[in-house]
Amino acid sequence: MVEALRETVRSARAIVLLSGAGMSAESGVPTFRDALTGLWAQFDPQQLATEAAYRRSPALVWDWYAERREAIARVLPNAGHRAIAAYQQRHPGRLTLITQNVDGLHQRAGSPGVLALHGNIAEDRWLDAPRACCQKEAIEPGRPPRCPVCGNLRRPAVVWFGEMLPQAELVAAQAAAEACDLMLVVGTSGEVYPAAGLAGVARHAGARVVIVNPHETALDDVAHVTWRQTAAQALPALLAEPG
């Protein structure tokens, strides 16, 4: 199977790789729900990861994300992340990387132009539409930081429950899925839409769909090939140069 898949990669004109939580788990990043341990075990994710929760208890939610940020900062990209980045550097413009992960590990590995559909936990943005007084250079520190003039809060730049995905990234991801001739779906359960729908978009447009995951996924029926392997083990072999 490996050699056949490598040949599929070599012959592909345009590749899309969609990555999910399973890929980051190999680096030691806990999944969203697994991060609710210790003090946070009493909370349901939807008690923390919504705009309403943040407005109700901004310090509580900010502290949870601060703890998650610290945990993610301690881990490193794994062999799968590095293999993707190396492939992109060898073949500029040939592989579009779309991720459901917010940990920034693809970016830290060196992948350019990552389409992060759910945002990046290491970054902040304004909670409300910024006024002229909302300047990054004058943010008042705190839990959470805020504008010292109008009080507008900073918030994690991630997509919360009930929020739309960033429009520019979603449009680019859909266009890439429609234009590719190979889609690799790596480490995602395929249950979170609209990201999970990209595999169907690619197949409908004529692309070959390959799933790399040690577990069954909701997208297995969409795939031409399912490879029961982890990203860190599969991608270095799949994306390696022939030799």
Catalytic positions: 118
Residue 43 DSSP one-character state? S
Nearest to 48 by CA among 60, 39, 37: 60
Going through 159-221 in order, the beta strands assigned E by DSSP cover 182-186, 208-212
Per-residue tokens: 47: 């008690």
Nearest to 159 by CA among 51, 12, 37, 80: 51
Number of residues that this document lists for the chain: 243
Residue 146 DSSP one-character state? B
